[in-house]
Structure 1
Amino acid sequence: MLELPILLVTDGVLLPSTRMKIPVRTASNLAMIDSCLFNNKTDPYSRIVIAYKQENGNSKKVFPIGTLASIEQIVCWSTNNSRIQYTLNLMGTARVEIRNINIPLCKVKHLESITGDINQKDEIEFIETAKKLAILFTNEGNSLITKLKIALKDISMAPFDELTDLCMSLLPAVSYPEQLAYLSETDISKRLLMVTRHSKSYLKARSMAVLEIRPEDSKIDENIVNMLEKLRGTRLIVPPNNNNSNPKRGSRKNEIDDLFQNLEAVGLPEGSVKETIMNEFEKFKNTSSNSPEHPVLRSYLQLIADLPWNVSTPDKNNIKESRIQLEAEHEGMESVKKRILEFLAVKQLKQDLKGPILCLAGPPGVGKTSVAKSIATTLGRNFQRLALGGIRDQSDIRGHRRTYVGAMPGRIIHALKLAKSNNPVILLDEIDKLGSGPHGDPSAALLEVLDPEQNNSFTDLYLNVPFDLSKVLFIATANDVKNIPSPLLDRMELVEMSSYSTGEKLKIAKNHIIPKQMSQHALSPDYVSFNNESILNLIEYYTHEAGVRQLERVIGAVCRNVALQVAEDINGGNVEADVFSKKANYPIQITNAEIEKIFGNQKRKKNTNIDEIKKSNEPGIVIGLAWTPVGGEVLVIETVASAGTGKVILTGSLGNVIKESIQVALSFVRANATKYGLDVSQLDKTDLHVHLPAGAIGKDGPSAGCAFTLALFSLISGLNVRKDSAVTGEKSLQIEFVDNVHELIQKMINDPMSEVAAAKGTNPEPMSKL
């Protein structure tokens, strides 16, 4: 009797003369490997016993017969919590009877096979089946195939117990209980019959799967059906075997009956809608299945049956929970959150409220799509997204008429079919990217969809019957509302989403981006740690955006770099059990130095000359604030005068709007020179040069007009302008106030200024918040 380590498994049986890889997961098996295979230095075990657990009511019992196996290789690897796990490469050597178990060891006795007289007919049938298996699996590169082929070349030299074990191990569809039954069988002749039966069933099921034969087309037993189900990966329903019945009889009638029941179950609106659809159904009943119109009518009626005519999901009206959820998922966006809560409040008071049509407008990456998803989650509604960018065919919205080959419904109806409810949240993504083409204008087709007074009877050309869209909550997103046609924009409630401030980006990175990227790269806080300084370094000097997409990419790059270090440190590129390299100091601290190693020098340099400008008393230099799609920017305006012919020289990659602002500023100075006591008599003999540093970066917009005027006043008068203050405002004959003050003030905080000058009438709320 042998005393050896025991490995408990719950699926898959290792037979003698075959190999198997067994992953080790459970605590008892891990403890066995550590105590018996690694820590036993004096006499480590080279063999183990594979014991099999089987269901016994509500508990699992160890099967009395196991497999003696030799250990060929131990592979170790680690998960994201740095816990070492193992995979054992084993070779089965013999059947054993398990007498006594004392974890991690057990006592076993060899189980001898009984070699009786094998019927010659059974022997021939087995050999033919084994040869078919060898041919079938030839191209799969399994070492057992080679071993089986060698054995079949000289049957007299190969024992039948080894041949049967080889064949049985090749069959992929034999159930776990049947494998255990085969393992426990000591009579070789009975094993031979079992293998032949399973092999023939598998070969027949394999041929049926390849030829796509249905189970009702042949007389097959339950064993073949089970194997066919495993090969096809689907459940098969075999009708009762009746030799006098035609399997195709009644299939047409059943199809019609099922379709009629589905149409009745969806609750079609009474009146013209139901009448039109039932007329189409009558036409389908009278159409031959061989007619080209048959599949067209069937697809149409099936779509009608799949649409949620009367299916609505109940709305969540708990405003307190909704507020908590919105605050947890999104930083800032106060106007958006307020609008959602207002809708919930009105919905709670008026149950039949029509869904509002919102348009979230803002620069890329500020979370417009994620806000729409959060709205759906907050309301407890299904969510569907329609990507409208680049659509130039109105049929994408309204569908195709069924007279065309390959006609389909429009995207609105298709989204409702997928949503399985008539009150989902449908996101019309990038609505400002719609275009018109030779097949119509899709933005015009959306007019009916987005009009609350009309969309209760939206008619898709494919359906040809009205469908009520009034319960749908449509949310559109856009980067530039100027590209949205006025009639379409008039039907939507515009909610502007500004760029994130640095503080908001920091919170988003800590609360959302870093946990998400660590999860995607199989990291945990035990491996890597970010601090506020390093995150701000990434925000300020390695990204330049209104949103956080680029920030997510650079944080993902940092996580990939850490994952590479962890992988190299754990295994050094080798996963063999006896290869261990030294451990790193975890968690890895992401510092500014580490960031520079990964990305190189900073992509954006800090405006270092701001401090020097503040100390200077040179006239003609003004610090302004300008708004860009990626947020506010500090704008240094430099002006100089030189002898010339009265020309105005503009440099610094300036756009047309900003050039016009400079011309307006100069005209204002000339017109009001007497009023302010300026001497402009020499301007006709003087060239004025206006320059904005960072010439590689394009600049445009009207908000720097006031700063240009002040710079020219300073240059002509010789008076110095305060350099600790920043100026913003559009210049006309008067100073005009500008929008987007929040971004401008935020940039002023990043490049500290003590004061900001803005036009009278500018909204003071963003300033008070900062």
Structure 2
Amino acid sequence: MTVSNLASIKKVMAELLAGKITSDKSDEELLSWLSDSKVEKAQLPVKIQTYLDELQEMDSDGNERLKLKIKTLKNLPYGVIAKYNQNILEIEEALNKSHYGMDSAKSVILETLQAAKYRGEVKLPFMCLYGAPGVGKTTFLKAIASALTVPIYFINMTGKSPSNIIGTDFVYKNADVGYIVRGLLESKCMNPIFVFDEVDKLASDDRYGSTSDTLLGICDSSQNNVFRDLFLDVELDISQATFLFTANSIQKIPEALRSRLTMVEIKDYSLFEKFTISKRHILPNKIKEFHLSEMLEISDEAINYLVESLQINEVGEKEGGIREVAKALERMLIKAAAELERNHLNHLLITKEWVIDRLGVSKLEEFRKQINDSFKVKPLKVGRIGTVHSLGVFSEIAGKVGDITCRIIPNGSGAIEFTGQMLDEPQDAAKTAYNFIRANYRCFGIEPHLLSCSDFVIHSHNAAIKKDGASAGVVYVIAMLSEILRRPVSDEVAMSGAVELDGSITPIGGVNFKVEACIQNELKKIYLSKQNQKDVPQEYFKSIDITLVDNLFELISLVFDNFDWHCSLCGEKLFKHQSKTANISWLHPNQSKCTYKHHYQDANGYPQEINEIK
């Protein structure tokens, strides 16, 4: 409202206010008066205005709580509704600009907003973003609010009680409003985005009511239009506000509350994503902040070293998110700025060696060295019967080489026993391997009574450590066949792969760590599933012989030289025949001995398919 417009409304205002302000007021006086809370009072809902009149009739001298109550009631933004941006393409562009990756979470947000738009709504439903600390949940929510052009208000839920949310009863000496009212006051509208941050850390002490139950009421669309703050003791309509949540662990969110929320996982960034974010976003911003744009050159190797080193924290636990990476990059720039200043340099090249020299060897390097020393394997270049190198991953940050040993106990009943703290998954994988051998005993030339009249013990070395996962399936098969057939396996060979009953070898995780462990332990060969080919960095093929296999029959032919294959029907030993056209067949010494499907066609050096000769 401008001063030139005021003359035309003075008379109307004077009539409306029944003489409380007269038309002889100066323009400046009227402007001052219009900014007073009395005009806001005229905009109050009828019930609020009536209640406020009653409060103002009370003696407020010296009563700070009453003054606070009146002031809060006057200043609440009744009827003020922020306009949400509903342009989905603009929102998507803004989120992609502010956050690299997070494709799954972005899709959920954008699709939900699009659906809400068709329903005639603008706000998001009750939603919880969960994931490891530092993965960007908070900054992502801020980016959402910015894209929607709506205020956002965070409430840290760590140890909070119901009174923190809905206020304290006016009768108490230190009574005050709750965070919901504070958020409305700060946002200056009735439909901001409220974020209940770290809702998995709610106060466990419910002597004064359950915080979870309070949040349930807020998340109930049939109740939040009559929200009551205990301090103000009036009903407020907060139904147009958006209520979002964050958590590190969804298991710790009370089940009743969790069932009300749409859960959206914010997955941890991969190493490549962290490298990209560091190079494209964090470093340019930090370098600009330090005014070092023309003075620094940072190699990709240096960035990658820092990113990789932050996979674990100071106590050796896996570290998620990008927060610690940002801190490390800032420390690096502080060191660089000090060096430029101290040595009067105009340019500085930061390499991996510079980072190690100035910041020290990373905890990750030290931790990996400890793991490697603890699980050190020294190949003796000998063959071992019943014992095979297995591969594992420690805390998802380092590979390790172990051993699996199989032994036959005579005078048994075909039972299988596990030792060395093997948990359910490895036990199940070993049983699958054992049943594969039993199902194909004729192919391997095994006497049936050996399986039915003996017990088998599968032992995982380093018995003090619990073993989990199914990736040692191939190891169990080879170790058992080695023990049964008395065929040695080179101690320079390791393998990893899950197995199916039909002999398929399926992919496993942590391939890069496992291959690194083999190289560090000076092994010569590693067998992996062919389905893991994309997971093996090409540079590793130069350091160790990596053989990718499809199934157990192929693996057996490669591990055991000149393996004796037998007919799966009659058990007779087969001999390998190569024709003039280089086609390989596996044949019976006496073709008349087995008349059904006795011709084995081979493409990879083992009996792969059985075809009937007509």
Per the normalisation by structure 2, the TM-score is: 0.64
Match of 2:82 in 1: 313
Please say if 1:339 is aligned against 2:117: no
Q: Any idea what SS the aligned residue of 1:409 has? A: coil
Residue 478 of structure 2 corresponds to residue 478 of structure 1: no
| Letter paired with 2:439 | K
**In the alignment, is the contact (CA less than 8 A) between 1:398 and 1:410 conserved in 2?**
yes
- Is the CA contact 1:360–1:478 (under 8 Å) kept in the aligned structure 2? yes
Three-state SS of the structure 1 residue aligned to 2:338 is: helix
Asked if 1:262 is matched to 2:40, the reply is yes
Asked if the contact 2:192–2:242 (Cα under 8 Å) also holds between the matched residues in 1, the reply is yes
Q: In structure 2, what is the Cα distance between the partners aligned to 1:280 and 1:532?
A: 65
The aligned counterpart of 1:434 is 202
Residue 699 and residue 548 in structure 1: after superposition, are their counterparts in 2 closer, same or farther (change >3 A)? farther
> 1:699 Cα shift?
7.8
CA change 1:523–1:465 in 2 (3 A) is: same
Cα displacement string for residues 644-668 of structure 1 (whole angstroms, at most 9, x for unaligned residues): 99985537xxxxxx73434444555
Q: What amino acid does structure 2 have at the position aligned with 1:675?
A: A
For the structure 1 residues 749 and 475, does the alpha-carbon distance in structure 2 shift closer, same or farther, using more than 3 Å as the test? Answer: farther
Deviation per CA, 1:69-104, whole angstroms, max 9, x where unpaired?
Answer: xxxxxxxxxxxxxxxxxxxxxxxxxxxxxxxxxxxx
The residue type paired with residue 590 of structure 1 is I
Q: How many equivalent residue pairs?
A: 460
Post-superposition Cα deviations, 1:396-444, rounded to whole Å, max 9, x if no partner, equal 2222111211111221221222111122122221111113202232122
**Could you tell me which residue of structure 2 aligns to residue 604 of structure 1?**
364
Alignment of 1:739-758 (within 5 A): 748-749=535-536
Q: Which has the higher contact order (CA 8 A, sep 6+)?
A: 2
Matched, 1:590 2:364: no
Please, which of 328, 331, 340 is the counterpart of residue 566 of structure 1? 340
Aligned to 2:257: 488
Find the aligned partners of 1:308 and 1:740 in 2 and give their Cα distance.
55
Conserved 8 A contact 1:325-1:378: yes
Residue identity matched to 2:295: Y
The residue number in structure 1 matching 2:469 is 705
Please report how far the alpha carbon of residue 687 of structure 1 lies from its aligned counterpart in structure 2 after TM superposition: 7.0
Tell me whether 1:688 sits opposite 2:459 in the alignment: yes
- Paired residue type of 2:130: A
Q: Deviation of residue 682 (structure 1)?
A: 9.4
Are the counterparts in 2 of residues 620 and 713 from structure 1 also a CA contact under 8 Å?
no
Structure 1 equivalent of residue 479 of structure 2: 715
Is it true that 1:659 corresponds to 2:437 in the alignment?
no
2:294 to 508, 526, 546: 526
> How far 1:497 sits from its partner (Å)?
1.5
Specify whether residues 422 and 665 from structure 1 end up closer, same or farther in structure 2 by C-alpha distance, changes over 3 A only.
same
> Is 1:357 aligned with 2:135?
no
1:485 Cα deviation from its structure 2 partner? 1.1
Distance 1:476 1:623 in 2: 40
Matches of 2:382 and 2:54, distance apart in 1: 88
Question: Which of 519, 525, 548 is 2:322 aligned to?
Answer: 548
Q: Distance in 1 between matches of 2:104 and 2:291?
A: 36
User: What's the counterpart of residue 640 of structure 1?
Assistant: 405
Match 1:380 to one of 131, 138, 149: 149
Larger radius of gyration: 1
* Residue number among 302, 306, 321 corresponding to 1:538 in the alignment: 306
Name the SS for the 1:563 alignment partner: helix
Q: Contact 1:730 / 1:737 at 8 angstroms: preserved in 2?
A: no
Q: Which amino acid aligns with 1:650?
A: G
Q: Return the alpha-carbon distance in structure 2 between the equivalents of residues 502 and 399 of structure 1.
A: 44
Q: Are 2:267 and 1:498 equivalent residues in the alignment?
A: yes
Aligned partner letter, 2:404 = T
CA contact (8 A) 1:623 1:726 kept: yes
| Distance (Å, rounded) in 1 between the aligned partners of 2:473 and 2:64 | 73
How far apart are the structure 1 equivalents of 2:291 and 2:376? 41
Alignment pair present for 1:297 and 2:297: no
Determine the structure 2 residue equivalent to 1:425. Answer: 193
1:361: how far off? 1.2
Distance in 1, matches of 2:238 and 2:397, equals 40
Post-superposition shift, 1:353? Answer: 4.2
1:447 counterpart residue number:
216
**AA in 1 matched with 2:335:** N
Contact conserved, 2:130 with 2:247, CA < 8 A, in 1? Answer: yes
Q: Distance in 1 between matches of 2:424 and 2:404?
A: 16
After TM superposition, give the deviation of residue 338 of structure 1 in Å.
1.4
The structure-2 alpha-carbon separation of the partners of 1:415 and 1:616, relative to structure 1 and needing over 3 Å to count, comes to farther
Q: Which amino acid aligns with 1:550?
A: E
Between the aligned partners of 1:740 and 1:480, the Cα distance in structure 2 is: 24
Query: Is 1:464 aligned with 2:464?
Result: no
For 2:284, the equivalent position in structure 1 comes to 515
SS of structure 1 residue aligned to 2:357? helix
Compared CA separation, residues 463 and 750, structure 1 to 2 (3 A): farther
Q: Distance in 1 between matches of 2:306 and 2:466?
A: 24
User: Per the alignment, do residues 395 and 650 of structure 1 end up closer, same or farther by CA in structure 2, a change over 3 Å counting?
Assistant: farther
**1:409 matched to which residue of 2?**
177
* 1:269-288 equivalences in 2 (<5 Å): 274-275=46-47, 277-288=48-59
Deviations 1:43-73 (A, max 9, x none): xxxxxxxxxxxxxxxxxxxxxxxxxxxxxxx
- Determine if contact 2:311/2:397 at 8 Å carries over to the other structure: no
Residue 330 of structure 1 is matched in structure 2 by 99
Q: 1:308 Cα shift?
A: 2.2
1:588 maps to a residue whose letter is L
Write the distance in 1 (CA, Å) between the matches of 2:360 and 2:393: 30
Partner deviation per Cα, 1:257-302 (whole Å, 9 max, x = no partner) = 955543323x42xxxxx43x34432333332244x6x433331122
Contact in 1 for aligned 2:52/2:73 (Cα 8 Å): no
SS at match of 1:620: strand
- Contact 2:472 2:498 (8 Å CA) reproduced: no
Q: CA deviation at 1:464?
A: 2.5
| Cα separation, 1, equivalents of 2:103 and 2:171 | 50
Shift of 1:680: 6.2
Task: Assess if the C-alpha contact under 8 Å between 1:312 and 1:422 holds in 2.
Answer: yes
Alpha-carbon distance between aligned partners in 2 of 1:404 and 1:282, rounded to the nearest angstrom: 22
Q: 1:227-246 maps to which residues of 2 (within 5 A)? A: none
Distance 1:287 1:423, change over 3 A: closer
Q: Is the 8 A contact 1:620 1:715 kept in 2?
A: yes
SS at match of 2:420: strand
Q: CA RMSD in A?
A: 4.5
- Does the residue aligned with 1:705 lie in a helix, a strand or coil? coil
Q: 1:262 to 1:756 in 2, by over 3 A?
A: farther
TM-score by length of 1: 0.52
Residues 485-531 of structure 1, C-alpha deviations (whole Å, 9 max, x = no match)? 111111111111211112211111012211233244x2322222212
Letter in 2 for 1:525: S
Q: Paired residue for 1:88?
A: none
**1-side partners of 2:437 and 2:308: how far apart?**
42
User: Which SS does the other structure have where 2:165 is aligned?
Assistant: helix
Change over 3 Å in CA distance of 1:727–1:394 after alignment to 2 = farther
Contact conserved, 1:523 with 1:563, CA < 8 A, in 2?
Answer: no
Partner of 2:590: none
Partner residue of 1:105? none
Quote the Cα distance in structure 2 between the aligned partners of 1:727 and 1:673. Answer: 16
In structure 2, the residue matched to 1:389 is: 158
Shift in alpha-carbon separation, 1:259–1:357, aligned structure 2, 3 A: same
- Report the AA paired with residue 559 of structure 1: L
Could you tell me how far apart the structure 2 residues matched to 1:401 and 1:708 are?
Answer: 62
Q: Are residues 674 and 518 of structure 1, via their aligned partners in 2, closer, same or farther at CA, if it must alter by over 3 Å?
A: same
Shift, 1:332, TM fit: 1.0
By how many angstroms is 1:624 displaced?
A: 5.6
Report if the CA contact (8 A) 1:543-1:550 is conserved.
no
Q: Which runs of 5+ in 2 are unaligned?
A: 1-31, 313-318, 411-415, 515-531, 541-545, 552-614
